[in-house]
Structure 1
Amino acid sequence: MAYLDEFLLIALAHFFAVASPGPDFTIVLKQSVQQGRRNALWTSFGVGLAILLHVSYCLLGVAVLLTQSPNVFMVLKYLAGAYLAYIGVQALRSAKPAPAQQEIVLQSQGVESSWIAFRRGFLTNALNPKATLFFMSLFTLVISQSTPLIVQAGYGLYMALATWAWFSFLSLVLSKPSVRGFFQKSGYWFDRGIGVILIALAIRIVV
């Protein structure tokens, strides 16, 4: 109870951060529509687990190193931008199927392995400088230095579980047959749109 006010502040800040559109939402949307519910849930799990990575380096003090080393943070930004741009270019390169092949293409989607789906989610969040800045701010400005490490770790575990739950919920909604059918009617243009968004996010991260 002594840390209830601090926890509520962290939970509120995390809610607005995780609910705001960004790379995590875009990749979960892409997986939900193109790959289906199972893969989207694995992607959501990857996003949630990556939160523990951010929490771990904050607890270990690496966040202080990042704030004092612009070059290291710049490398992280370029890695994140390159990864998102790569996914975006892959989406832009998707060929428009012939009408007779459309049904075959839709049925063939969903063959991506659970490991690849998990990796997409994990890397998208782990390399996201926005997430890095958010957790650095929390652990250096919001959370008191007198807060025990075990309590700070509890905050991190909550944020990881909350992130996983949020994106799993989105996966369940976005992967419904009616929602997937809406997007897949113009799957070619959906791919192109997602590609443009991912590349725009990559440019925004770098700039």
Structure 2
Amino acid sequence: MQEFLTIALIHLVAVASPGPDFAIVVRHSVSFGRRAAMYTSIGIGLGILIHVAYSLVGLSVIIQTTPWLFKAISYVAAAYLIYLAVGALRSGPAPASNQPLTDEPVHSQAHKMPARKALWTGFLTNGLNPKATLFFLSLFTAVIDVNTAFTTKLGYGIYLSVATGIWFCFLSYLLSTSKVARFIGDKGYWLDRTMGVLLIALAVKLVWS
């Protein structure tokens, strides 16, 4: 129980800190509305299972002892973040509309993202996130005891996946409530562009570090 509580606390701090996952959920919530952001959040939660899988089978040790492999992952992730950032930076104001405001941002109603694409984007954003790789490298080598049973470790991984998905689903809901949507209004594309700049900064940081 003490080990689980330690993991839960570390995870809470990690998932709440700004990063690619946070940026893409905010972007999708502002640009495409609650539904797309929810599917993106679920995709992020599923992406956690990638890190759990390689940690359980010992690939984390290979990544940790093979610098070029981790560097290659970082470059791939940086390229993907820039790809997402370009789409965010190209966002513009929504077409004029006389429709009343709903629970989603005004401009999101004109551009719907398919559920599968939102899910896949969230999955790739987390799965290719070196920050998450570092987190799981640390978690499975420094926090979780080497003698902990495989089934227990698997349970930890499932918890981290579910907890991550729930957290970002909550964030998606919060960002798409009527009050927040009204606050964002038809100027939400500026927040979208800000997220684009943040994604580029994260990509540069990955390559630079």
* Equivalent position of 2:103 in the other structure: none
The equivalent residue for 1:166 is 167
- The percent of aligned pairs where both chains have the same amino acid is 51
TM-score by length of 2: 0.90
> Partner of 1:78: helix, strand, or coil?
helix
8 A contact 2:40–2:122 mirrored in 1:
yes
Match of 2:97 in 1: 103
* Distance across 2 between alignment mates of 1:164 and 1:22: 15
Q: 1:18 aligns with which of 15, 18, 37?
A: 15
Q: 2:66 aligns with which of 63, 66, 69?
A: 69
2-side partners of 1:123 and 1:169: how far apart? 20
Tell me by how many angstroms 1:96 deviates.
5.0
| Count of residues in Structure 1 that have an aligned counterpart in Structure 2 | 200
Which moves more between the two structures, 48-57 or 181-190?
Answer: 181-190
For normalisation by structure 1, the TM-score amounts to 0.91
- Deviation of 1:169 (Å): 0.6
Instruction: Mark the runs of 5 or more structure 2 residues left unpaired by the alignment.
Output: 99-105
What residue ranges of structure 1 are gaps of 5+ in the alignment? none
* 1:86-97 equivalent positions in 2, closer than 5 A: 86-96=83-93
Write out per-residue CA displacement over residues 122-164 of structure 1, whole angstroms, 9 at most, x where no aligned residue. 1111111000000011111111111010000011111111111
CA contact (8 A) 1:33 1:184 kept: no
State how far apart, in whole Å, the 1-side matches of 2:188 and 2:11 are.
33
Change (3 A) 1:130 1:26: same
Q: 1:95 to 1:169 in 2, by over 3 A?
A: closer
Distance (Å, rounded) in 2 between the aligned partners of 1:181 and 1:206: 37
Cα distance between partner residues in 2 of 1:44 and 1:23 = 12
Could you say what the CA RMSD is over the residues aligned between the two structures, in angstroms? 1.5
Following superposition of structure 1 onto structure 2, how do residues 180-191 of structure 1 map, counting pairs within 5 Å? 180-191=181-192
Judge conservation of contact 1:184–1:190 (CA < 8 Å) in 2: no
Corresponding residue of 1:205 = 206
Cα distance change on mapping 1:37 and 1:121 into 2, 3 Å: same
